[in-house]
Amino acid sequence: MLSRLHSQPLPTVAVLAAVLVPASVAMIFFYAPVDQDGLNQKIFYFHVPIALTAYICFGWGGWKALLVLWKRNERADLESYVAIHQGVIFGALTLVTGSIWARFRWGHWWEWSEDQLVLFLVLFLFYAAYFMLRFSVEPGPRRTNLSAVYALCGVALIPVSVLAIRLSQRFIHPVAFDKGGPNMAASQFVTFLVSWAALLSLAATLYHVELAGKRLDVRLRELREVLS
């Protein structure tokens, strides 16, 4: 299974996503109990895994950027770009699903005094600006190096954003995990883990599909240059 995942990742993660996504939705609505937060708490099972997946995508993009600078791995540049693209999509989904949750619970879409929200927005905007930088430079080693350095700088914001709840003074944002472990029932925690696995496999599927498309595009461009 692991060797197959390494050699042919796309079919494996796509099958995993096809199984886990419907399973997680079924568990959220038919297995996990409704707690004191009411039905609105069901958003948590997708909102938090989406946010964690966004962090992982940004981290993966940073790791690939490090490989570009350290090992001079040319292929890693495209991988870093695609990972950050995925991170921005999942980041946007985090902000939207969080805002929908907040609108019902807090009565407004956004809370500027909440450190965790603002720091996540900063992280999202930082990586959104990555594309402006990347596409303002001509393709070549300069663009590869600048993109890699920028992607790597953003990694420093990830732990700050994750630990923002510790820095926060107001604690309006619910705390699902603290030093004592998860603040939820076992069935809720299992549902959360299945949802996270579903979102991770979905992100991995989209990552490999996009990467395959981008690589094919590069190969076709090279072929066109040879033939013309």
CA atoms of 42 and 31, how far apart (whole Å): 11
- Degrees, nearest 5: CA angle 85-90-95: 125
Interface segment toward other proteins; rule CB under 8 A; list 37-45, 108-116, 152-160, 190-198? 37-45
Instruction: For residue 42, give every residue at least 6 positions away whose Cβ sits within 8 Å of its Cβ, in sequence order, or none.
Output: 28, 29, 32, 34
Residue 210 CB, shortest distance to other proteins, in Å, is 7
Nearest C-alpha neighbor of 154 from the set 72, 91, 75, 76: 91
223 forms part of the interface with other proteins (CB under 8 A): yes
- String marking each residue 156-195 x if it binds other proteins according to CB under 8 A: ----------------------------------------
Question: What is the rounded CA–CA span in Å between residue 87 and residue 51?
Answer: 9
To other proteins, the closest distance from the beta carbon of 113 in angstroms equals 22
| DSSP-assigned letter for residue 32 | S
Neighbouring residues of 33: CB distance < 8 A, sequence distance ≥ 6: 185, 187, 188
- Candidates 35, 74, 178, 217: give the one binding other proteins (CB under 8 A): 217
Number of H helices, E strands in the chain: 9, 2
The residues pairing with 178 across neighbouring beta strands, listed in sequence order, are 181
> Cβ atoms within 10 A of the Cβ of 128, count?
14
Among 89, 121, 176, 193, binds other proteins (CB under 8 A): 89
Near other proteins by CB under 8 A: residue from 40, 59, 172, 193: 40
Kindly state the smallest distance separating residue 106's Cβ from other proteins, in Å.
12
Angle formed at CA 52 by CA 46 and CA 58, multiple of 5 degrees:
130
Please say whether the beta carbons of 30 and 191 come within 8 A.
no
For other proteins, which residue of 10, 52, 92, 121 counts as binding (CB under 8 A)? 92
Q: Which stretch binds other proteins (CB under 8 A): 46-54, 115-123, 133-141, 167-175?
A: 46-54
Residue choice 13, 32, 43, 83 for contact with other proteins (CB under 8 A): 43
Exactly one of 50, 84, 148, 204 binds other proteins (CB under 8 A); that residue is: 50
> Which range touches other proteins (CB under 8 A), out of 63-71, 96-104, 149-157, 181-189?
96-104
Q: Is 14 in the site for other proteins (CB under 8 A)?
A: no
Contact footprint for other proteins (CB under 8 A): 25, 38-40, 42-43, 46-47, 50, 89, 92-93, 96-97, 100-101, 103-104, 202, 206, 209-210, 213, 216-217, 220, 223-224, 227-228
